[in-house]
C-alpha cells in the first residue's frame, strides 16, 4: 500500500470574527502519498490557501495535527518549524515575492544563505537551479527586468534550491496568461517527476488539476474527490528553456 508522507488528522481552523468564531474547516483529515501530485480545488474562500499554509507550517491549526512521516510539525517550536520549512518544503506562490533590488541569482540564493552556506557555494547551486528552469542566461537580471513567466521560473528555482522533498504551490499560474500558464504548469509537472517530489497544488484551473494524480475539492469544510485524473495529459505548447 502506498505510503502517506503528509498526514493531517482532525485539523480545525477557526478565526475570531467580531463576537463569533468563523470556522474555515473542522476535523479535516488528509493523506498525501509520498511522490503524489495532488490538486486542491474549490470556490474562492473555501479555505484552500489556509489549508496549504497549515500543511506548510506557515500557520497552526486551532486543533488537530499534521505529520510529515513520523514527525509532527504542529508540535515544533517556531525556530524548529522555520528550519523544517527551509529544508523540507519548496513554496511557489501566485505572487512571486521576489526582492526587486536583487538579481534573479541573488533571489534564488536566499534560502541557502539563511542556512549559513558560503556565498560562493550558494551561488553555484543557485545558478544550477536557474539553468534547470531555463534562466541561467538571465541570472544577473533584476525582477523588474523579467517577464511574468520568467519571474515565476525564478520562484521555481528558489523552491528547488534547498532540495526539498515537498513542493507546495498556491495558484502558481494565477497571474499569468494562458500560454505562459501552460508553460509553467508543464514545468511543474516535469520538476515533480524528475525530483520525485510530494506535491500539493492549489488551483482554480480544473484542466491543470486533472493532470495531477488526484483532485480533491474543498467544499463546506470537507475534502471531496473531484473525479479521476486525465488518462493522458492535455497537449501543451513547446517552450524555450
pTM: 0.89
Coil, helix or strand for 224? strand
CA distance 140 to 106: 8
- Every domain of the chain and the residues it spans: 4-225
Read off the DSSP letter of residue 156: H
Residue 229 pLDDT: 54
Dihedral sign (CA 139, 143, 145, 147): positive
Cα–Cα distances in angstroms (integers) from residue 146 to residues 94, 151, 170, 241, in the given order: 16, 6, 21, 14
Furthest-apart CA atoms within the chain: distance in Å: 55
Number of H helices, E strands in the chain: 7, 10
The number of CA neighbours under 13 Å toward the Cβ of 171 is 14
CATH of domain 4-225: 3.40.50.300
Cα–Cα distances in angstroms (integers) from residue 195 to residues 3, 35, 166, 189, 190, in the given order: 17, 9, 10, 10, 9
Contacts of 17 (CB under 8 A, 6+ apart): none
CA distance 164 to 150: 21
Residue with cell 499569468: 176
DSSP string, 177-219: -HHHHHHHHHHHHHHHHHHT-EEEEE-S-HHHHTTSSEEEEEE
For residues 196, 200, 205, 207, the Cα torsion angle rounded to the nearest 10 degrees is 40
Contacts of 34 (CB under 8 A, 6+ apart): 2, 3, 4, 5, 198
Residue 208 grid cell: 491543470
Closest by CA position to 209, among listed 228, 184, 196, 194: 228
Per-residue pLDDT of the chain (241 residues; tens, 9 = 90+): 467 899 999 999 998 887 888 889 999 999 999 999 999 999 888 899 999 999 999 999 999 999 999 999 998 999 999 999 999 999 998 887 899 999 999 999 999 999 999 999 999 999 999 999 999 999 999 989 999 999 999 999 999 999 999 999 999 988 888 899 999 999 999 999 999 999 999 998 999 999 999 999 998 888 999 765 554 444 444 434 3
Residue 236 pLDDT: 41
Amino acid at each position: 500500500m502506498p505510503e502517506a508522507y503528509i498526514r493531517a488528522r482532525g485539523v480545525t481552523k477557526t478565526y475570531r470574527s467580531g463576537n463569533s468564531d468563523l470556522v474555515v474547516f473542522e476535523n479535516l483529515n488528509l493523506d498525501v502519498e509520498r511522490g503524489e501530485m495532488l490538486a486542491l480545488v474549490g470556490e474562492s474562500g473555501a479555505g484552500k490557501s489556509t489549508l496549504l499554509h497549515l500543511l506548510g507550517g506557515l500557520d497552526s491549526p486551532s486543533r488537530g495535527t499534521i505529520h510529515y512521516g513520523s514527525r509532527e510539525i504542529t508540535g515544533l517550536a517556531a525556530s524548529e518549524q522555520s528550519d523544517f520549512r527551509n529544508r523540507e518544503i519548496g513554496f511557489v506562490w501566485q505572487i512571486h515575492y521576489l526582492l526587486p533590488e536583487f538579481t534573479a541569482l541573488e533571489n534564488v540564493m536566499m534560502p541557502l544563505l539563511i542556512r549559513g552556506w558560503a556565498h560562493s557555494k550558494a551561488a553555484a547551486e543557485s545558478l544550477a537551479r536557474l539553468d534547470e528552469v531555463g534562466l541561467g542566461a538571465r541570472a544577473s537580471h533584476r525582477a523588474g527586468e523579467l517577464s511574468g513567466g520568467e519571474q515565476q521560473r525564478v520562484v521555481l528555482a528558489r523552491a528547488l534550491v534547498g532540495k526539498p522533498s515537498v513542493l507546495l504551490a498556491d495558484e502558481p499560474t494565477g497571474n499569468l496568461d494562458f500560454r505562459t500558464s501552460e508553460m509553467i504548469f508543464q514545468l511543474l509537472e516535469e520538476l515533480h517527476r524528475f525530483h520525485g517530489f510530494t506535491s500539493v497544488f492549489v488551483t482554480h484551473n480544473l484542466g491543470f488539476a486533472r493532470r495531477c494524480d488526484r483532485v480533491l475539492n474543498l467544499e463546506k469544510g470537507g475534502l471531496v474527490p473531484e473525479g479521476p485524473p486525465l488518462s493522458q495529459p492535455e497537449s501543451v505548447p513547446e517552450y524555450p528553456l
